[in-house]
Amino acid sequence: EVQLVESGGGLVQPGGSLRLSCAASGFTVSGNYMSWVRQAPGKGLELVSVIYSGATTYFADSVKGRFTISRDISKNTLSLQMNSLRGEDTAVYFCARGSGYPGPKGYYYYMDVWGKGTTVTVSS
Amino acid sequence: QSVLTQPPSVSGAPGQRVTISCTGSSSNIGAGYDVHWYQQLPGTAPKLLMYGNSNRPSGVPDRFSGSKSGTSASLAITGLQAEDEADYYCQSYDSSLSGGVFGGGTKLTVL
């Protein structure tokens, strides 16, 4: 069964760090577009970071320079290292797999498998 | 403020048809990037509902349909059912941001 399970969320003080993990089963993270999407309390979805199959990465402006994304092929996991955390980073963080197809402008991706999410609370 | 604009809420009675719009610009939908839709039931993770503007993943009822024209896209739901009550999000790619973008979400209420 294709599945994603996030872990690592919790309560952290402003300025602190946290590392989220996403364990994949039924497919390999190394060969896929993998992403982190977050949802602040009562708000909509925000794409936080992406790592493409070729290791190219993307970060939203709101987290650039503070967050890093990586894959551990041996453990088949995706990670998000979050540093210098702020109150506005408080959210449920979802891990999602992307599937892509060729289009006129390049490769188009949509998220076809989602984890249940892990909650990050940044507060003193 | 989201790059893709959706109405905050829509509603309809059981059996009716509702549509949810997703309006973008020349750097995303208008540039030719496809639109994908997700359904998020209360307290759960988002679920892929439509990809490539109008393609349903297996298991999604054909009551759901999608379309795209110009700088906008739409999700239509016919034969509304109580279980359709959820938040719906559109998603595309924005060339100015060089990344994927979501709409602000639309809450569907089944009266």
* Residue A79, C-beta contacts closer than 8 angstroms, at least 6 positions apart: A19, A20, A21, A22, A69, A70, A71, A72
What's the one-letter identity of residue A108?
A: Y
Please check the confidence at residue A79 and state whether its pLDDT lies above 90: yes
Q: How confident is the model at residue B101 (pLDDT cuts 50, 70, 90)?
A: very high
Please give, rounded to a whole number of angstroms, the shortest distance from the CA of B36 to a CA of chain A. Answer: 6
Q: By the CB < 8 Å criterion, does A60 face chain B?
A: yes
A120 sits in which H/E element: strand A118-122
Give the one of A105, A110, A112 whose C-beta lies nearest to B31's C-beta. A105
Residues of B in contact with A108 (CB under 8 A): 33-34, 52, 93
Alpha carbon B89 to its chain's center: 5
A100 sits in which H/E element: strand A91-103
The whole-number average pLDDT for the span B35-58 is: 97
CB pair distance less than 8 Å for A50 and B101:
no
Please give, rounded to a whole number of angstroms, the shortest distance from the CA of A69 to a CA of chain B. Answer: 15
Structure confidence at residue A105 (pLDDT): 87
Please give, rounded to a whole number of angstroms, the shortest distance from the CA of A119 to a CA of chain B. Answer: 12
Among A97, A26, A111, A41, residue whose Cα is nearest residue B101: A111
CB pair distance less than 8 Å for A109 and B100:
yes
Q: How confident is the model at residue A58 (pLDDT cuts 50, 70, 90)?
A: very high
Q: By the CB < 8 Å criterion, does A115 face chain B?
A: yes
Structure confidence at residue A31 (pLDDT): 83
Give the separation between CA A78 and CA A56, rounded to whole angstroms: 14
* Residue A34, C-beta contacts closer than 8 angstroms, at least 6 positions apart: A22, A50, A51, A69, A71, A78, A95, A96, A97, A98
Please check the confidence at residue B1 and state whether its pLDDT lies above 90: no
Give the separation between CA B60 and CA A73, rounded to whole angstroms: 32
Burial string for A58-85 (b: 16+ CB within 10 Å, else e) reads bbbeebeeebbbebeeeebbbbbebeeb
Please check the confidence at residue A80 and state whether its pLDDT lies above 90: yes
Give the one of B45, B57, B87 whose C-beta lies nearest to A112's C-beta. B57
pLDDT digits (tens, 9 = 90+) for A92-108: 999 999 999 999 888 89
Number of neighbours of residue B15 by Cβ within 10 angstroms:
10
